């Protein structure tokens, strides 16, 4: 697997990390020919979540990481001490709030880190009409410009005057109002935006955010506030007047929810999801805990935005093979697997260090066609023509737009249509069979490991979905002789969301 912490030059990569009942978003920000690292919030999930400290240690050098805390609750701060031990945090940006005592432990750890790195490395986030603005203290007029690489950011919340009010409130009031003044930040690169909303609630959006920033709220990607809670729209479950102006103004194409599969707070709330679905297609609403995976969003130099699921584990962050290698993995298929790998290396078929994964699930022709004779010398050559088309998943053939032809082994963009055509004609009574073989951890984790043989026509349409190397092959069967009289060579396709 490619090292997810090392995107290609010019790629803005945002990894919404699966950390259970909490939040952690890693941004890898392009900066000319290099990248900067920015982590927004952190949490530790002892069950199936990503170990954020181990992840960062695998690819982030010391004193490179900027940490932003949207608000000082433990599900957005837990593990910060381990992160600092792993990579030594360079700067900390936070909302300036003092939490209630049940969240004080992790807050105190953050303050200890600030003491270690020096107060000159502490900055405060406050709502501003200016881009790339942070504050050196909580006083009005303390704002400075702090650019992060080639990406612009704008802070929408917390509002300064409300932040000041919170400091003087009683502990219980402070606890309830910190969500009202959670950090909300928009990041923009090549005219594509990602909106981080922390745990911001309905009151915040009605009183402090939407009226002041309505014209600049638009974002393609929205991180669901408070793990998909109804508090983004409602004061309570019984609230009959949900606020929806903000989601209408944001007009997101994608929604990312950070919540475990079995949330102790029932996140995401069903009534909140019902509202989200009115503004965002259901297939573009991603819940990290549901798939127990992290979601990667890449924006390239041309402003193209791609998403991909990824199993982020410290054991597979070194760019090594997803499946490993060896006869134990492939059994009788091992020899053919080695030959395929050698072909890939020899002819450099697969860019981006993508490799062929385990294909032991591949079906044999005789398993599909009973009594078939698979000749070693085929009478008819079978050549395939391959074309790349743009189109949405639901677009019918007539609405897909031709982009270009492509050859075996090319790296192709995900979420595209691929058209394969048989170029020859056959005089016998024949039947066409196709086989699509998907390989790799990405396809496996999403239940997409295809390998069956199926009957079809002279044209086969496929959709590019899974990171890795896959192939398609066509068989021509003489029906009268029940004999395979021709088959195409393996036609490889390589999909890698990074750098498309």
pLDDT, position 171: 57
The residues spanned by each domain of the chain are 12-316, 327-495
Q: Which of 190, 189, 250, 260 has its CA nearest to residue 223?
A: 250
What is the rounded distance in angstroms from the CA atom of residue 78 to the CA atom of residue 242? 31
- Which residues of the chain fall short of a pLDDT of 70? 1-3, 47-48, 161-176, 291, 311-355, 374-379, 496-500
Q: What is the value of pTM for the model shown? A: 0.65
Residues 277-310: pLDDT tens digits?
Answer: 999 998 899 999 876 788 999 999 999 998 887 7
- Joined tokens for residue 187: 């990041």
> CATH fold of 12-316, please?
Metallo-beta-lactamase; Chain A (3.60.15)
pLDDT, position 349: 46
What is the rounded distance in angstroms from the CA atom of residue 234 to the CA atom of residue 202? 6
Q: Confirm if 329 and 356 have CB atoms less than 8 A apart.
A: no
Q: Confirm if 209 and 178 have CB atoms less than 8 A apart.
A: no
3-state secondary structure 463-492: ECCCCEEEEEEEEEEECCCCEEEEECCCEE
pLDDT, position 293: 81
């Amino acid at each position: 697997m490619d090292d997810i912490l090392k995107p290609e030059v010019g790629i803005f990569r945002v990894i919404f990390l699966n950390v259970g009942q909490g939040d952690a978003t890693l941004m890898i920000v392009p900066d000319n020919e290099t990248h900067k690292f920015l982590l927004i919030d952190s949490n530790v999930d002892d069950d199936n979540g990503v170990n954020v400290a181990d992840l960062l240690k695998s690819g982030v050098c010391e004193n490179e990481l900027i940490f932003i805390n949207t608000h000082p609750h433990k599900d957005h701060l837990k593990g910060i001490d381990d992160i600092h031990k792993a990579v030594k945090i360079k700067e900390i940006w936070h909302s300036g709030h003092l939490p209630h005592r049940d969240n004080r432990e992790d807050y105190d750890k953050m303050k200890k880190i600030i003491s270690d790195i020096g107060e000159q490395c502490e900055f405060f986030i406050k709502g501003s009409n200016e881009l790339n603005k942070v504050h050196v203290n909580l006083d009005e007029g303390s704002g400075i410009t702090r650019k992060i690489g080639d990406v612009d950011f704008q802070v929408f919340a917390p509002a300064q005057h409300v932040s000041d009010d919170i400091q003087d409130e009683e502990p219980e009031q402070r606890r309830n109002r910190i969500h009202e003044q959670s950090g909300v930040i928009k990041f923009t690169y090549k005219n594509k935006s990602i909106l981080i909303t922390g745990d911001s609630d309905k009151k915040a959006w009605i009183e402090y955010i939407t009226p002041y920033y309505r014209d600049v709220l638009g974002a393609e990607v929205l991180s669901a506030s408070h793990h998909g809670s109804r508090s983004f729209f409602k004061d309570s479950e019984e609230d009959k007047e949900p606020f929806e102006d903000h989601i209408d103004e944001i007009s997101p194409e994608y929604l990312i929810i950070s919540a475990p599969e079995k949330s102790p707070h029932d996140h995401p709330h069903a009534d909140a999801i019902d509202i989200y679905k009115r503004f965002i297609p259901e297939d573009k609403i991603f819940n990290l805990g549901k798939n127990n995976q992290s979601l990667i969003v890449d924006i390239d130099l041309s402003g193209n935005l791609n998403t991909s699921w990824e199993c982020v584990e410290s054991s597979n962050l070194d760019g090594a093979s997803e499946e490993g290698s060896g006869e134990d993995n492939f059994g009788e298929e091992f020899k053919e697997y080695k030959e395929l790998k050698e072909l890939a290396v020899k002819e450099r078929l697969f860019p981006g260090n993508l490799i062929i994964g385990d294909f032991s699930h591949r079906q044999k022709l005789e398993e599909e066609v009973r009594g078939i004779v698979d000749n070693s010398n085929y009478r008819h050559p079978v050549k395939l023509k391959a074309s790349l088309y743009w189109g949405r998943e639901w677009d019918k053939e007539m609405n897909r737009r031709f982009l270009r032809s492509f050859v075996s082994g090319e790296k192709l963009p995900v979420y595209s249509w691929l058209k394969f055509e048989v170029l020859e004609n056959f005089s016998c009574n024949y039947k066409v069979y196709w086989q699509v073989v998907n390989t790799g951890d990405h396809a496996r984790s999403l239940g997409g490991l295809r390998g069956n043989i199926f009957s079809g026509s002279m044209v086969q349409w496929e959709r590019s979905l899974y990171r890795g190397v896959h192939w398609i092959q066509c068989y021509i069967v003489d029906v009268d002789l029940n004999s395979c009289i021709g088959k195409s060579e393996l036609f490889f396709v390589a999909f890698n969301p990074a750098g498309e």
